[in-house]
Amino acid sequence: MSAYRFVTRVCAGALVSAGLWAGAAQAAEYPTKQIELIVPYAAGGGTDLVARAFADAANRHLPKAIGVVNKTGGGGAVGLSEIMAARPDGYKIGMGTVEITMLPHLGVARFSVGDFTPIARLNAEPAAITVNADSPIKTIDEFLANAKANPGTVRVGNSGTGAIWHLAAEALGEQTGIKFNHIPYDGANPAVTALLGGHIEAVGVSPAEVFSQVAAGKLRILAVMADERSKTFPDVPTLKEKGIDVSIATWRGIVVPKRTPEPIVAALREASRDAANEQSFKDQLAKMNLTHAYADGPEFKAVMEKDDAFFKTLMTQVGLAK
Amino acid sequence: MHEIDLLLNGARTLIDQPMALLLALIGVALGIVIGALPGLTATMGVAILLPFTFGMDPLSGLLMISGVFFGGIYGGSIPAILLKIPGTPAAAATAIDGYELTKQGKAGIALGTATLSSFLGGLLSVIVLIFMARILAGFALEFSASESFALAVFGLTIIASISGASPIKGLIAGFAGLLLATVGLDPMGGFPRFTAGYTELFTVPFIPVMIGLFAAAEAFKSMEEPEVRGALKTALGRIIPPWSAFRGVIVTILRSSGLGILIGIIPGAGADIAAYVAYNETKRFSKAPQNFGKGELSAVAACESGANGCTGGALLTMLTLGIPGDAVTAVMLGALTLQGLQPGPLLFQDHADLVFTLFAGMIFCYVAMLFMGFASLRFMGRILQMPKSVLTPVILALCIVGTYAINNSMFDIGIMLAAGVVGYFMQKWDFPASPVVLALIMGPMAEASLRRALSLSNGSYDFLYTRPITVVLLSAAALSLLVPLLRGLRKSGGGTAEPPLNATPGRGH
Q: Which amino acid does the sequence have at B116?
A: L
Instruction: Report pLDDT digits (tens) over B400-431.
Output: 998 998 888 899 999 999 999 999 999 999 99
Task: Name chain A contacts of B186, Cβ cutoff 8 Å.
Answer: 161
CA distance A86 to chain B (A): 15
pLDDT at B500 over 60: no
Query: Do B415 and B198 touch, CB atoms closer than 8 A?
Result: no
pLDDT at B125 over 50: yes
Residue of B118 and B204 predicted with greater confidence: B118
B340 and A46 within 8 Å at the Cβ level: the answer is no
pLDDT at B485 over 90: no
CA distance B475 to chain A (A): 23
The Cα-based distances of B391 to A162, B13, B75, B287 in angstroms read: 47, 46, 19, 38
> How many Å apart are CA B278 and CA A120, to the nearest integer?
50
pLDDT at A143 over 50: yes
Identify the pLDDT of residue A189.
86
Band of residue B498 on the pLDDT scale cut at 50, 70, 90: very low
> How many Å apart are CA A93 and CA B71, to the nearest integer?
35
- Which residues numbered 209-238 in A keep a CB inside 8 Å of some CB on B? 211-213, 215-218
Query: Do A37 and A66 touch, CB atoms closer than 8 A?
Result: yes
Instruction: Report pLDDT digits (tens) over B341-357.
Output: 888 878 888 888 899 99
Identify the pLDDT of residue B370.
96
B458, HSE (Cβ side, Cα atoms, 13 Å): 7
Residue A93 pairs with which residues in a beta bridge? A37
Residue of B225 and A125 predicted with greater confidence: A125
**From B46, B189, B346, residue closest to A215, measured CB to CB:** B346
Averaged over B491-507, what is the pLDDT? 45
A218 and B345 within 8 Å at the Cβ level: the answer is yes
pLDDT at B501 over 60: no
Q: Which amino acid does the sequence have at A84?
A: M
Cis peptide bond upstream of A31, omega within 30: yes
Band of residue B483 on the pLDDT scale cut at 50, 70, 90: confident
Identify the pLDDT of residue B497.
41
B317: nearest Cα among B249, B375, B275, B269: B269
> How many Å apart are CA A184 and CA B145, to the nearest integer?
11
Query: Do A164 and A191 touch, CB atoms closer than 8 A?
Result: no
Q: Is B344 within 8 Å of chain A by CB?
A: yes
pLDDT at A60 over 60: yes
A213 and B199 within 8 Å at the Cβ level: the answer is no
B467's CB contacts (< 8 A; 6+ apart) are B144, B146, B147
Identify the pLDDT of residue B503.
39
- Site from A83, A134, A159, A193 to mutate, B interface, most B CB atoms within 10 angstroms: A193
Instruction: Report pLDDT digits (tens) over B305-321.
Output: 999 999 999 999 999 88
Residue of A131 and B190 predicted with greater confidence: A131
Averaged over B467-489, what is the pLDDT? 84
> How many Å apart are CA B406 and CA B410, to the nearest integer?
10
Band of residue B39 on the pLDDT scale cut at 50, 70, 90: confident
Q: Which amino acid does the sequence have at B87?
A: G
Instruction: Report pLDDT digits (tens) over A281-319.
Output: 999 898 888 999 999 999 999 999 999 999 999 999 988
Q: Give the Cβ contact number of residue B56 at 10 Å.
A: 17
The H-assigned helical ranges of B50-166 are 58-75, 77-83, 91-103, 107-142, 145-157
Averaged over B28-50, what is the pLDDT? 89
Averaged over A172-191, what is the pLDDT? 92
**From B142, B330, B458, residue closest to A181, measured CB to CB:** B458
A199 and B145 within 8 Å at the Cβ level: the answer is yes
Instruction: Report pLDDT digits (tens) over B62-90.
Output: 999 999 999 999 999 999 999 888 988 89
Band of residue B181 on the pLDDT scale cut at 50, 70, 90: very high
Q: What percentage of chain B has pLDDT greater than the value 90?
A: 53
Name the phi and psi angles at A96, rounded to 5.
Answer: -85, 145
Task: Name chain B contacts of A45, Cβ cutoff 8 Å.
Answer: 331, 334
Q: Is B145 within 8 Å of chain A by CB?
A: yes
Q: How many CB pairs under 8 A join A and B?
A: 139
Task: Name chain A contacts of B192, Cβ cutoff 8 Å.
Answer: 108
Identify the pLDDT of residue A8.
60
Identify the pLDDT of residue B408.
83
- Which residues numbered 252-271 in B keep a CB inside 8 Å of some CB on A? 267-268
Residue of A44 and A27 predicted with greater confidence: A44
Q: What domains does chain A contain, in order, with CATH numbers?
A: 10-124+250-317 (3.40.190.150), 126-242 (3.40.190.10)
**From B192, B409, B456, residue closest to A155, measured CB to CB:** B456
Q: Give the Cβ contact number of residue A5 at 10 Å.
A: 9
Band of residue B197 on the pLDDT scale cut at 50, 70, 90: confident
Identify the pLDDT of residue B506.
39
pLDDT at B455 over 80: yes
Local structure of residue B214 (DSSP, 8 states): I
Identify the pLDDT of residue A235.
94
Residue of B381 and A206 predicted with greater confidence: A206
Q: Is A69 within 8 Å of chain B by CB?
A: yes
pTM for the full predicted model: 0.86
Averaged over B487-496, what is the pLDDT? 60
Computed over every residue of chain B, the mean pLDDT equals 87
Instruction: Report pLDDT digits (tens) over B102-123.
Output: 988 889 999 999 999 999 999 9
Is the confidence metric ipTM above 0.90 for this complex?
Answer: no
pLDDT at A159 over 80: yes
Name the phi and psi angles at A92, rounded to 5.
Answer: -130, 100
Return the HEC string of chain A. Answer: CHHHHHHHHHHHHHHHHHHHHHHHHHHHHCCCCCEEEEECCCCCCHHHHHHHHHHHHHCCCCCCCEEEEECCCHHHHHHHHHHHHCCCCCCEEEEEEHHHHCHHHHCCCCCCHHHEEEEEEEEEEEEEEEEECCCCCCCHHHHHHHHHHCCCCCEEEECCCCCHHHHHHHHHHHHHCCCCEEEECCCHHHHHHHHHCCCCCEECCCHHHHHHHHHCCCEEEEEEECCCCCCCCCCCCECHHHCCCCCCEEEEEEEEECCCCHHHHHHHHHHHHHHHCCHHHHHHHHHCCCCEEEEEHHHHHHHHHHHHHHHHHHHHHCCCCC
> How many Å apart are CA A90 and CA A271, to the nearest integer?
13
Averaged over B322-328, what is the pLDDT? 81
Q: What is the DSSP string of B38-83?
A: TT--HHHHHHHHGGGGTTS-HHHHHHHHHHHHHHHHHHTHHHHHHH
Query: Do A128 and A239 touch, CB atoms closer than 8 A?
Result: no
Identify the pLDDT of residue B454.
94
Identify the pLDDT of residue B222.
86
- Which residues numbered 190-219 in B keep a CB inside 8 Å of some CB on A? 190-192, 199-200, 202-203
Band of residue B301 on the pLDDT scale cut at 50, 70, 90: very high
Identify the pLDDT of residue A258.
93
pLDDT at A91 over 50: yes
Chain A residue with the nearest C-alpha to that of B404:
A71
Chain A residue with the nearest C-alpha to that of B340:
A287
Identify the pLDDT of residue B136.
85
Which helix (H) or strand (E) segment is B30 a member of?
Answer: helix B18-36
Instruction: Report pLDDT digits (tens) over B8-19.
Output: 999 999 999 999
Weakest mean pLDDT among A310-314, B25-29, B45-49, B253-257: B45-49
Weakest mean pLDDT among A270-274, B161-165, B491-495: B491-495
Longest dimension (CA), chain A: 91
B322's CB contacts (< 8 A; 6+ apart) are A212, A213, A216, B333, B342, B343, B344, B345, B347
Identify the pLDDT of residue B185.
85
Q: Decide: residue A142, CB within 10 A, 0-12 exposed, 13-18 middle, 19+ buried.
A: middle
Weakest mean pLDDT among A311-315, B189-193, B228-232, B288-292: B228-232
- Which residues numbered 263-302 in A keep a CB inside 8 Å of some CB on B? 284, 287-289
CA distance B56 to chain A (A): 14
